Amino acid sequence: MRPPVVLDLDDSVGPLPGRRVLPLREWEEAIRFGCSMRTLRRFAGRLDAMLPREHGTVFLGSGDFHHLTLPLVRRVGGTDPFQVVVLDNHPDNMRFPFGVHCGSWVRRVAMLPRVSHVHVVGITSSDIGGGHAWENYLGPLRAGRLTYWSTGVDVGWASRLGLGRAFRSFPDASSLADAFADAQHAQATPVYLSIDKDAFAPDVATTNWDQGVMTFAQGARVIGALRHRILASDVTGEISLYRYRAWWKRRLSAMDGQSEPDVARLRAWQEEQHALNLRLLAMIGGSWLPPELLPAPDQVLHQQARQRHGGPDAES
């Protein structure tokens, strides 16, 4: 089993077998919910210095840190294209003019040269409904680089704008998972997998964002369709207590409908999360790309050097 890595930004991830913990609590206020691209680049440099050359799934902590998937995707070694599959109740492709945040990072990932396509799977959020259509970045959807897989949301507006092919809508989560799995079985492209546990129904595990309707079995169907193709992965969606010092983070997180965790029930919820993490680790562990097909560690280091010096994968 590849040893998991915990980015300890909020002390929310329980003990995992063989884990390596990176102490990063001093970054919590700067990074949590959102930050400037300059701050994210600084954090990415810190990650590059701390992450081991070879590791397994990276645990990010709260879903407020999901934008950290961006630097993790960028540091994938090699030169071959790969897909990014995101299990999430939200599109994470919403307009954000102040840099990047946990609900806006997908656009930047979708436009990276080596990312052939991004699939966001499990959306039930009204973020992709007609009332919020203007808030979605349409560029990657129009360019054929991003697909939303959703259930229970009226996305008729997309067809009227000629974007119908980028929106896969289903009557329930079971048919969504089956259709995604069928589409992936014909694929051979390696995959970066990012899981936000808010895609799961609350009876699987509780998060502090509005949640989807997936059962664990349906999520397992999605992950199982990627068997022997996962080259890197991360998990987010833990639940933790935090009060932002920055007023704009307090305001925007409240506008996004983020709820305050119930202090009295926090420990029980974190135990649910921990049990789900162990199940996800086992599931991902059976789906890794075979070792002989993984990028060599020196390719990862070369990729990082190119990015630091403004190579083709550098952030704009």
According to the model, what pLDDT value does residue 94 have?
97
According to the model, what pLDDT value does residue 299 have?
57
Single pTM value for the model = 0.92
Helix (H, G, I), strand (E, B) or coil at 272: helix
Q: Give 117-160 pLDDT, tens digit per residue.
A: 999 999 999 999 999 999 999 999 999 999 999 999 999 999 99
Q: Give 58-79 pLDDT, tens digit per residue.
A: 999 999 999 999 999 999 999 9
Token pair in block for residue 17: 């077998």
Q: Give 248-268 pLDDT, tens digit per residue.
A: 888 877 777 666 777 888 889
Q: How many helices (H) and strands (E) does the chain have?
A: 11, 11
Q: For residues 162-174, give the mean pLDDT.
A: 98
**Taking phi first (over 0 means left), then psi (-120 to 50 degrees means alpha), and beta for anything else, what does residue 276 get?**
alpha
The yes-or-no verdict on residue 313 having pLDDT over 70 is no
Residue pair 57/2 in contact by the 8 Å Cβ criterion = yes
Number of residues in the chain: 316
Class of domain 5-308: alpha beta
